[in-house]
Amino acid sequence: MSAASAVLPHRRPLAHRAATVLSVLLGLACLWFGFDFTVLPETAAAGFGIPSWPDGQAAGYFGVKAARDFANGAVILTLLALGRRRSLAWVMLLLAIVPFGDALAVLGHGGSYAAALGIHAATGVVVVLTAALLFVTSRDVTRSASQTR
């Protein structure tokens, strides 16, 4: 038991709950974006932050975005459902690349700073925060599992 958890034992369950809620919300958001880009790609694209979107053959990128979002949401929710919180923490940390990359794409293609920072970079920060909470709340489980071997 760490000194922090001994002094503030009530914080660990709260952090665990927050990590779970954020993970579920992020997973569901990814699934929603995948669904939205599949069913109404032009409408969904307008909210992404890039002012001029591809049409014709190039609109096939909407399907790519939808597939990416479906996969990300499925991975998040599957790892959470399986109780693999430590693995989910690593996955979340890696998935933070996506919203930060999206922010750069918005800025690089004529989008606004408000969309890049307010939508995508802010989401990246939430994903990193969720990863941190998952690491903190899964540490004791990892230690106790390795000590019983």
For residue range 8-47, list pLDDT tens digits in order.
445 589 999 999 999 999 999 999 999 999 999 888 888 8
Q: Residue 139: what pLDDT? A: 65
Q: What is the pTM of this model?
A: 0.83
Q: Residue 45: what pLDDT? A: 85
Per DSSP, 117 falls in state I
Spatial contact of 116 and 103, defined as CB atoms under 8 Å apart:
yes
Phi, then psi, of 2 in degrees rounded to 5? -80, 165
Confidence of residue 5 (pLDDT cuts 50, 70, 90): very low
For the segment 129-146, the average pLDDT, to the nearest whole number, is: 76
